[in-house]
Amino acid sequence: MATTETIAASILIVGSGVFGLSTAYALAQRDAFKNTSITLLERLDFPAPDAASIDSSRIIRPDYADPAYAALMAEAHPHWRGSFGAEGRYSEAGLCLVQDSGDESGDNAAHYYLIKALENVKSKLGLRVGRREEGGQVELLETPEDVARVTASMGGDCGRRGYVNWTSGWADAEAGMRYLRDLVERTGRVEFRTAEVTRLHYSQDRVEGVELVGGERLSADLVVLATGAWMQTLVDLRGIASATGQVLAYIDITQEEQDRLGGNPTLLCETNGMFIIPPRNRVLKVARHGYGYANPTTIPHPERSGDTIAVSLPRTKQDDPNLNIAPEGDRACREYLAKCIPSLATRPWTQTRICWYSDTPVGDWLISYHPTYRNLFVATGGSGHAYKFLPVIGERIVDLVMGEERDVLGAELGKKWKWPAQRREEDQVWTDDWRGGVKGMILDEELAKGEIAAPRSRL
């Protein structure tokens, strides 16, 4: 462990997504690490197009059922409103969280999440309730007519009830990552290398180093693994975290449509996990926060030679340039678009993508030393909600690298992010966190159900 007394002389970070890049920045800025060599390895030239952290948009919201994440967002938000969000990287157009079923029972996970999130933004963050025209920050939407009022320019049926938080917004995800990369480069403290790690060299209670494609070996006092949904190739996380593929679809729109829809709040339906982020540069995105697809793959056991394990691994356009979303995902996105914005119902997708979450049992991240290998630290398990914390998460990770839990919030989150005492019995983790779609879908089985129309790059 790298405590304040025993600072590592060399640190290798593997993976340059939200977790890895923000860790590099926090290390580079801390005085304690001023004599430490810091290397960041990334398998593709930055920004890796299939990384979860790289996309046109990510929702930035404090609307969490868990007050600890709402409070962490309260720390991150000023950064988005400041330098991180400058030059169009952040738009605060609101988040409209809705339900689309008649079920109001407390047992309904979607309803529970919505009610708890609302409670937190009101009581914990102290946002003012009321109409926006009257200075309200959070507006209750108690009827379908209320929902229709704040989504009027979409022209469709966007939900039955919910609320809109006008202090939430969305970020241009790739631009945010480029901004942070630039900050890290300017520190002059981090060596960047495009190199894929094929395996870690494990000894009894340590990691001696990493091996790269081509056979080169690098050693370090501390290895920080932040390879997102690809983690399982390098460390055994069965029953702790799993890769799940999520569907995204994009369409081109006209300038008139851009002007009409561009200022909308993001629409997120808690009943089915579907969401629409307002368009930018005449591209509109429809997606689902779902249980996703598993992609079971048999690989050599990352920690024990001679054994194999079956784990879910990402499959992306880097592996297969013709990979599209499966028919059921296509249908879900199409039906949601047609329902909410009927005028775009038949517009073909210009692009589709399967983007990979690293999912944990309840959606808490995994930011912890490995219980067996004492110089191996893991930072993963984003569970579809880590991007918004880009400006602050690296500091938390480095606190935990140093064995510190500096304040109440840190201690609470530190506990949530600890290596679990027990693994789930099933190797594949299907999260209990609220999601849309069906639990248990297998990528190949869903793809085999037919092909979707090839995306077209014209209106």
Ligand X SMILES: Cc1cc2nc3c(=O)[nH]c(=O)nc-3n(C[C@H](O)[C@H](O)[C@H](O)COP(=O)(O)OP(=O)(O)OC[C@H]3O[C@@H](n4cnc5c(N)ncnc54)[C@H](O)[C@@H]3O)c2cc1C
Selected binder of ligand X within 28, 40, 43, 111 (CB under 6 A): 43
| Contact predicate 294/442, CB 8 Å | yes
Binding mask of the shown chain, residues 336 to 355, with x at each position contacting ligand X by CB under 6 A: -------------------x
Interaction of residue 20 with ligand X, rule CB under 6 A: yes
Residue with tokens 């248990």: 440
Complex with ligand X: residue 228 or 436, whichever CB lies closer: 228
Selected binder of ligand X within 2, 17, 76, 443 (CB under 6 A): 17
Complex with ligand X: residue 150 or 171, whichever CB lies closer: 171
Q: How far is the CB of 47 from ligand X (least distance, A)?
A: 8
| Cα 265 to Cα 71, 74, 80, 86, distances in angstroms | 22, 19, 17, 19
Q: How far is the CB of 448 from ligand X (least distance, A)?
A: 22
Contacts of 214 (CB under 8 A, 6+ apart): none
Q: How far is the CB of 70 from ligand X (least distance, A)?
A: 13
Instruction: Map 68-105 to HEC letters.
Output: HHHHHHHHHHHHHHCCCCCCCCEECCCEEEEECCCCCC
Cis peptide upstream of residue 67 (ω within 30 degrees of 0): no
Q: What gap in Å lies between CA 266 and CA 93, rounded to an integer? A: 7
313 φ, ψ (degrees, to nearest 5): -125, 150
Interaction of residue 414 with ligand X, rule CB under 6 A: no
Neighbours of 45 (CB within 10 A): 9
Q: What gap in Å lies between CA 342 and CA 337, rounded to an integer? A: 7
Interaction of residue 179 with ligand X, rule CB under 6 A: no
Q: How far is the CB of 179 from ligand X (least distance, A)?
A: 15
CA angle 374, 380, 384 (to 5 degrees): 165
Instruction: Map 198-265 to HEC letters.
Output: EEEEECCCCEEEEEECCCCEEECCEEEECCHHHHHHCCCCCCCCEEEEEEEEEEECCHHHHHHHCCCC
| Cα 19 to Cα 5, 108, 282, 304, 347, distances in angstroms | 24, 32, 30, 26, 36
Selected binder of ligand X within 59, 98, 243, 311 (CB under 6 A): 59
Interaction of residue 385 with ligand X, rule CB under 6 A: yes
Complex with ligand X: residue 20 or 414, whichever CB lies closer: 20
Interaction of residue 197 with ligand X, rule CB under 6 A: yes
Q: Which of residues 206-245 bind ligand X (CB under 6 A)?
A: 226-230
Selected binder of ligand X within 12, 42, 139, 312 (CB under 6 A): 42
Q: How far is the CB of 78 from ligand X (least distance, A)?
A: 16
Q: How far is the CB of 61 from ligand X (least distance, A)?
A: 7
Neighbours of 27 (CB within 10 A): 29
Interaction of residue 85 with ligand X, rule CB under 6 A: no
Contacts of 180 (CB under 8 A, 6+ apart): 21, 22, 25, 84, 390, 391
Interaction of residue 53 with ligand X, rule CB under 6 A: yes
**Buried b or exposed e, range 118-143, using 16+ CB within 10 angstroms:** bebbbeebebeeeeeeeeebbbbbee
Q: How far is the CB of 196 from ligand X (least distance, A)?
A: 4
Interaction of residue 246 with ligand X, rule CB under 6 A: yes
Complex with ligand X: residue 72 or 261, whichever CB lies closer: 72
Q: How far is the CB of 255 from ligand X (least distance, A)?
A: 26
Selected binder of ligand X within 7, 11, 18, 393 (CB under 6 A): 18
Interaction of residue 97 with ligand X, rule CB under 6 A: no
Q: How far is the CB of 355 from ligand X (least distance, A)?
A: 3
Q: How far is the CB of 236 from ligand X (least distance, A)?
A: 15
Selected binder of ligand X within 11, 58, 330, 377 (CB under 6 A): 58
Residues that bind ligand X (CB under 6 A): 14-20, 41-44, 48, 51-53, 58-59, 196-197, 226-230, 246, 248, 287, 355-358, 380, 382, 384-388
